[in-house]
Structure 1
Amino acid sequence: MENLRELFQVMTRRFGFLNKNCCTAGSYEISLIQSHILYEIDRHHKPSIQQIAGTLGTDITTFSRQVQSLMKMNMVKKTPDPDDRRIHILSLTTEGKYVATMIDQQMNTFLNEVFSHMNDAEKETVIRSIKLLNDAMAKSKNCCTTPLG
């Protein structure tokens, strides 16, 4: 039987998930969580702080700190919702959009290079398997937490 934990440990390292910074865009060093925040803000229409924190499975305090650091870098804007002033809407600044696009291009280049070492059938098998794994993880009662909570 394969050591599943070892397979995931190696994949995590090869993806660079343990690196302090996942990406460089222009003069910016972006952490993995900041990269995820930029990505989620970019793909949602006028998301609230709570929405993005929920999507990422991050507690609101940690998330707010990360949003503050992205605001200081002039990548994210936070504006009160006109219908409910208690809710804040997140959006990307021009700089934030640029950085999100750069990270997206870097990730696509990396993934295309990785998949270039596989034939079409192997690539399709991996993609289908990742979808199956994501679906199974979404059904798990431990989704989005570490095994220890």
Structure 2
Amino acid sequence: MENPRELFQVMTRRFGLLNKNCCSVGGCDISLIQSHILYEIDNQHEPSMQQIADTLGTDITTFSRQVQSLVKLNLVKKTPHSDDKRVYILSLTVEGKYVATTIDQQMNEYLNDVFSNMNEFEKETVIRSIKLLNEAMAKTSHCCTIPLR
């Protein structure tokens, strides 16, 4: 049987998940976590900081630092909620929308290139398997942590 950990190690490297920056758009170097934040802000309706942090499974302190760096890059805007000033709503600036869209296009081009090396059955099998894996990962109690023994 194949070694599953080895398969994930190789896939992680090939996806560039260990790189300091996942992409560079318009002179901005964007880290992987920043890319995820931009994606989620773009895909959720007027999300709060806590909603995005929860979606990404990150603690609010680390998340706040990342959002601040995106605000400084003029990619994200924080607006106090009209009903509760302690809650901040996140939105993309025009530049942020451009960066998020460009990253999305780059990732789709990359995945299309990867899938172009497979026939339709293989592609559907991989996508179905990833869905199955995501569902199984959501059911485990070890989500996002590695138990240290």
For this structure pair, what is the TM-score category when the shorter chain's length is used for normalisation? Answer: over 0.9
Superimposed CA distance per residue, residues 94-124 of structure 1 (whole angstroms, 9 cap, x where no aligned partner): 0000000000000000000000000000000
SS in 2 for 1:118: coil
TM-aligned CA distance change 1:93 to 1:146, over 3 Å: farther
- In 2: Cα distance, 1:146 partner to 1:74 partner: 35
Q: Which amino acid aligns with 2:69?
A: S
Q: Distance in 1 between matches of 2:146 and 2:46?
A: 29
TM-score by length of 2: 0.97
User: Which residue matches 2:23?
Assistant: 23
Displacement of 1:25 after TM fit? 0.9
CA-CA distance at 1:145 after TM superposition: 2.9
CA distance in 2, matches of 1:84, 1:145: 33
Shift of 1:37: 0.2
In the aligned structure 2, how far is the partner of 1:60 from the partner of 1:115? 36
Return structure 1 stretches of 4+ with deviation > 6 angstroms: none
Is the CA contact (8 Å cut-off) linking 1:57 and 1:145 kept in structure 2? no
After superposition, what is the alpha-carbon deviation per residue over 1:29-68, rounded to whole angstroms, capped at 9, x for unaligned?
A: 1000000000000000000000000000001111000000
Instruction: Report the number of matched residues.
Output: 148
**Partners of 1:108 and 1:76 in 2: how far apart?**
23
**Match in the other structure for 2:49:** 49
| Counterpart AA for 2:43 | R
- What is the identity percentage for the equivalent residue pairs of Structure 1 and Structure 2? 78
The AA in structure 2 aligned to 1:115 is F
TM-score, normalising length from structure 1?
0.97
| In structure 2, C-alpha distance between the alignment counterparts of 1:34 and 1:107, rounded to whole Å | 15
Report the secondary structure of 1:24's partner residue.
strand
Alignment gaps of 5+ in structure 2: none
CA distance in 2, matches of 1:126, 1:6: 17
Alignment of 1:126-141 (within 5 A): 126-141=126-141
The one-letter code matched in structure 2 to 1:22 is: C
1:99 aligns with 2:90: no
Structure 2 letter corresponding to 1:17: L
Q: Which amino acid aligns with 2:24?
A: T
